[in-house]
Amino acid sequence: MLLTPDAPSVLQQLDAFRAIVGSDYVSVDPEVLAHYASDETEDLHYLPDVVLKPRTAEEISAILKICNEHRILVTPRGGGTGLSGGALPHLGGVLLSTERMNSILEIDERNGQVTTEPGVITEVLQSAVRERGLFYPPDPSSRGTCFIGGNIAENSGGPKAVKYGVVKDYVLNLEVVLPTGDIIWTGANVLKNATGYNLTQLVVGSEGTLGIVTKIVLRLIPHPRYDLLMLVPFRSAEQACAAVSAVFQAGYTPSALEFMERDALEWVMRFVDDSIVPLEEGIAAHLLIEVDGNDPDVLMKELEGIAGIVQGFDCSENIFFAEDAQQKEQLWKLRRRVGEAVKANSIYKEEDTVVPRAELPVLLQGVKAIGSKYGFHSVCYGHAGDGNLHVNIIKGDLSDEAWNGSLKEGIREIFQLVKQLGGTISGEHGIGLVQKEYLPIVFDAVQLQLMRGIKRLFDPNNILNPGKIFDSE
């Protein structure tokens, strides 16, 4: 096993770590280390020197005090489903997993709030509050395995964001252990708060670089009683994108409006072995459109209204309306597993672009033009209602030379286009390790300096997830 420069100092602290979390939860076993060496980001692997699995904020505080004193690097990790390498221990040191902090502490029905630990799987949390008639909408595709703590770190989104917002719109208050070991609460359990700087929102989306979240208070809303879902095929992918803003302009707010290029749907149908819909000849893309609410008649009218709008955009007459819960689940499963299908198909690089939604057709056209210029194929899908397009650049048969040679410049051009269109380089996957070199496309020196200053204030010794979002100073 290769030891990182920090390893001797980490290994000297093993007994101290055992005294804090118990020896069962301190591991240097190569198999365990290997398990925590990668997340869902492309094909990257970096071994940590030790894996720690604390149970409480107090244990994390004691660990961070030691690490801060001895300048040992710490990478926090949730469910390991991240797509920008935020949880990769690329410099070695301690990998701190929150997997044992997996209790839902309180569902407060009177106030519509839930207090939870960070290691709870997002879907488990959603189901628990659903049983009380309550709704926590943010639902990343990985919701069956990702942790709510990781969702806070990344400010995750998902398909419902178009109507219900992203994680930041639900977080009221956080308990956070700072890199110095101090334990703070960031806010209050209230729906309005105009009291000083908003530390809660500073921590949301900070990708585990400012502190480790140990308790989370989320607001909940009543769960809508009904939903309807349809899959609309289009002969032109650009027309499908153009239909998106027309739906909103006509006064509709779908609860999901997802875009899938033909390859995305074709690959995932093969991947999960489900061809619920026939893929007609000449179809270039699909929109998956959901409406939800409490009155089924109103919903039916809305869905028909939306179908009428999209028909003006060269869509096929074969719109597929999900008839029952099973068909809805089948369609959603296809959409949620596109990412896995792409990953299984080829080495790829994913760009999480987001633009004002009316610019989507221009973005898609630009991505394809840049692909032709640099010789790569891309498969695009994503949360079109939010203007959030996941651009997957596919290696396919490209030689390593061609792939490595053209890729970076191509990505840079895509991001420059995104910026030109008023968008930004990540909608919901974060910057982490793999996108940081592109950050100067969207932030100038003054903005980056401010961010570095915030990092220094929270983490004076730069021990917590260093080298994520921007390079260590």
Nearer to ligand LAC, 285 or 338 (CB): 338
Nearer to ligand LAC, 86 or 339 (CB): 339
Nearer to ligand LAC, 115 or 151 (CB): 151
Using rule CB under 6 A, residue 86 touches ligand LAC:
no
DSSP 90: T
Using rule CB under 6 A, residue 286 touches ligand LAC:
no
Which position among 339, 366, 387, 430 is part of the footprint of ligand LAC (CB under 6 A)?
A: 339
Nearer to ligand LAC, 85 or 140 (CB): 140
- Binding track over 388-427 against ligand LAC, x by CB under 6 A: --x-------------------------------------
Q: Please answer whether residues 245 and 313 qualify as being in contact, where contact means their C-beta atoms are separated by less than 8 angstroms.
A: no
Q: How far apart are CA 299 and CA 292, in angstroms?
A: 7
Number of residues that bind ligand LAC (CB under 6 A): 6
Using rule CB under 6 A, residue 77 touches ligand LAC:
no
**Least distance from C-beta 45 to ligand LAC, angstroms?**
20
Q: Which residue is nearest to ligand LAC (CB)?
A: 141
Residue keyed to tokens 């101090």: 182
Using rule CB under 6 A, residue 141 touches ligand LAC:
yes
**Least distance from C-beta 155 to ligand LAC, angstroms?**
12
Q: Among 165, 343, 364, which Cα is nearest to 261's?
A: 364
In terms of Cβ atoms closer than 10 Å to its own Cβ (0-12, 13-18, 19+), residue 73 is buried
DSSP 169: G
Q: Kindly tell me the sign of the dihedral angle through the C-alpha atoms of 308, 313, 317, 318.
A: negative
How many residues are present in the chain? Answer: 473
Using rule CB under 6 A, residue 78 touches ligand LAC:
no
- Contact residues for 65 (Cβ-Cβ < 8 A; gap 6+): 180, 181
**Least distance from C-beta 229 to ligand LAC, angstroms?**
16
Q: What pairs with residue 324 in β-bridges?
A: none
Extended strands (E) in 109-225? 113-116, 134-135, 171-177, 183-185, 212-219, 221-222
Nearer to ligand LAC, 140 or 233 (CB): 140
**Least distance from C-beta 111 to ligand LAC, angstroms?**
30
**Least distance from C-beta 240 to ligand LAC, angstroms?**
16
Using rule CB under 6 A, residue 54 touches ligand LAC:
no
Using rule CB under 6 A, residue 68 touches ligand LAC:
no
DSSP string covering 229-271, please? Answer: EEEEEES-HHHHHHHHHHHHHTT---SEEEEEEHHHHHHHHHH
Chain residues 363-382 in contact with ligand LAC, contact rule CB under 6 A: 382
Binding site for ligand LAC (CB under 6 A): 140-141, 338-339, 382, 390
